[in-house]
Amino acid sequence: MKQENLASDALMQQQLLKLDLNLIRVFCCVCDYQSITLAAEHLALTQSSVSNAINRFKAVVGGELFIRQGRGIALTAIGQHLHRQLSLPLIEIEQCINSVKAFDPSLSKRVFHVSANESIIDLIEADIEKSLTDKGVEIIFTEAILDEGNLYQALKNQQIDLALDIVAPTEASFTSKQIATEKLVCVARAEHPQFKHGIDEVSYFAAKHLFYRLHRHNQRVAEMISTDHLPERDMYGEKSSLLTMLSGVSKSDAICIAPYTYAKNYQSIFNLILMDLPFESQVISIYSIWPTRNHQDPAIKWLRELVESAMEKVYSTKN
């Protein structure tokens, strides 16, 4: 029996010596997607290549890594353990490799994709474009992905390089930095008969409300910034665009909550009144978010610093 164990250990050692680190990369990718098909698309491999890599890694480990679950797959206990132990070291390896890559924005033809709320895009896009006049790179802004799960998946899939959002991620596979703060204000049309001298809590909750279609942790923005539980508000409508929401308020007796800096830019255009919120509230934080594996990537560092500089110009000069 002892000889059998020694032989088994020797075989395991031989397999570990032959271990291809790409097998770990493929394994972690399948874990992230819970799908052979999606992992193959991400890695630019065929499905059979991914399946073969998983089978080879299974032989090294000596146990099942995945089981069938409905139409998809799920990690076994062994698979979960390995993913927890291997994902962060793999990120560190990728960081190390990325840190020695050269990047020159004047020569590079890289196209960066940044996800941000339309108010942020409106405030910083022109300054960013001015900074790129003598550069070879291009930065494309896409309006914020409203569902946070889809946002993080887009970062993992490298569909976007950087995200600007109001909630910091909790997963170790993402890194974030607070780059600005913003207060929210209550907005109504300037000729609104009730709010010429401001708004109190009673009239605020009695009014019709236009909501912005953004949820984080199953909460609307007002619930996120309030220090107390808010009563139910009477919905007038819901908009996926801040600009459309401000336009809607200008043409009705409904009110809304909007970022101060953005609303101030459109106050005269839509003939609006901006009022302090009639309840205790906190400012919102704006974070830049990127995959941890890209933390040392010179190209992503350059992008982060450029965006951070543009944000500082806007939010450090607020009235």
Residue 317's pLDDT is 59
Measured in degrees and rounded to the nearest 5, phi and psi for residue 134 equal -105, 20
Residue 175 domain-assigned?
A: no
Instruction: Pick from 14-18, 42-46, 265-269, 313-317 the range whose average pLDDT is largest.
Output: 265-269
Q: What is the dihedral of CA 203, 190, 269, 255, to 10 degrees?
A: 10
Give the residue carrying structure tokens 């996926």. 240
Number of domains composing the chain: 3
Same domain for 53 and 201, yes or no, is no
Residue 179 domain-assigned?
A: no
- Give percent of the chain with pLDDT exceeding 70: 87
pLDDT in tens, 122-159: 999 999 999 999 999 999 999 888 778 889 989 988 89
CA–CA separation, 215 and 148 (whole Å): 8
Residue 9 domain-assigned?
A: yes
Same domain for 54 and 203, yes or no, is no
Residue 259's pLDDT is 92
Residue 71 domain-assigned?
A: yes
Taking the alpha carbons at both ends of the chain, their separation in whole angstroms is 79
Instruction: Pick from 19-23, 92-96, 186-190, 217-221 the range whose average pLDDT is largest.
Output: 186-190
CA–CA separation, 230 and 288 (whole Å): 29
Domain CATH code at residue 34: 1.10.10.10
Identify residue 77 by its one-letter amino acid code.
A
pLDDT of residue 13 exceeding 60, the answer is no
Residue 100's pLDDT is 64
CA–CA separation, 229 and 232 (whole Å): 10
Same domain for 274 and 223, yes or no, is yes
Identify residue 285 by its one-letter amino acid code.
S
- Kindly tell me the sign of the dihedral angle through the C-alpha atoms of 183, 185, 190, 194: negative
Domain range for 8 is 2-99
Residue 6's pLDDT is 47
Same domain for 197 and 224, yes or no, is yes
Same domain for 277 and 298, yes or no, is no
Residue 319's pLDDT is 46
Higher pLDDT, 37 or 92: 37
Domain CATH code at residue 246: 3.40.190.10
Q: At what angle do helices 260-270 and 242-250 cross, to 10 degrees?
A: 40
Instruction: Pick from 27-31, 93-97, 98-102, 238-242 the range whose average pLDDT is largest.
Output: 27-31
Over residues 98-126, the mean pLDDT reads: 89
Band of residue 12 on the pLDDT scale cut at 50, 70, 90: very low
Question: Among 31-35, 58-62, 221-225, where is mean pLDDT lowest?
Answer: 221-225
Fill in the DSSP letter of residue 292: G
Over residues 169-177, the mean pLDDT reads: 92
The mean pLDDT of the chain is: 86
Same domain for 152 and 204, yes or no, is no
Residue 174 domain-assigned?
A: no
Residue 178 domain-assigned?
A: no
Higher pLDDT, 144 or 115: 115
pLDDT of residue 177 exceeding 90, the answer is yes
Same domain for 133 and 188, yes or no, is no
Residue 177 domain-assigned?
A: no
Residue 139's pLDDT is 97
Domain boundary among 99, 120, 149: 99
Domain boundary among 52, 68, 99: 99
CA–CA separation, 192 and 251 (whole Å): 10
DSSP 256-283: EEEEHHHHHHHHHHHTEEEE--SS-B-P
Residue 15's pLDDT is 52
- Token pair, residue 144, equals 């914020």
Report which secondary-structure segment, H or E, holds 212: strand 208-212
| Contact partners, residue 67, CB within 8 Å, separation at least 6 | 73, 74, 76
Same domain for 150 and 193, yes or no, is no
Higher pLDDT, 98 or 234: 234
Domain boundary among 99, 128, 152: 99
Q: What does each C-alpha distance from 109 to 44, 96, 106, 136, 152 come to in angstroms? A: 21, 23, 8, 5, 25
- Give percent of the chain with pLDDT exceeding 90: 53
Same domain for 233 and 302, yes or no, is no
Band of residue 308 on the pLDDT scale cut at 50, 70, 90: very high
pLDDT in tens, 188-239: 999 998 887 789 989 988 999 998 876 665 566 666 666 666 777 888 888 8
Same domain for 160 and 189, yes or no, is no
| 3-state per-residue secondary structure call for 61-122 | HCCCCEEEECCEEEECHHHHHHHHHHHHHHHHHHHHHHHCCCCCCCCCCCEEEEEECHHHHH
Band of residue 60 on the pLDDT scale cut at 50, 70, 90: confident
Same domain for 81 and 16, yes or no, is yes
Residue 222's pLDDT is 62
- Token pair, residue 163, equals 């995200």
Same domain for 51 and 129, yes or no, is no
Residue 104 domain-assigned?
A: no
Residue 7's pLDDT is 47
CA–CA separation, 264 and 83 (whole Å): 48
Q: At what angle do helices 21-33 and 77-99 cross, to 10 degrees?
A: 110
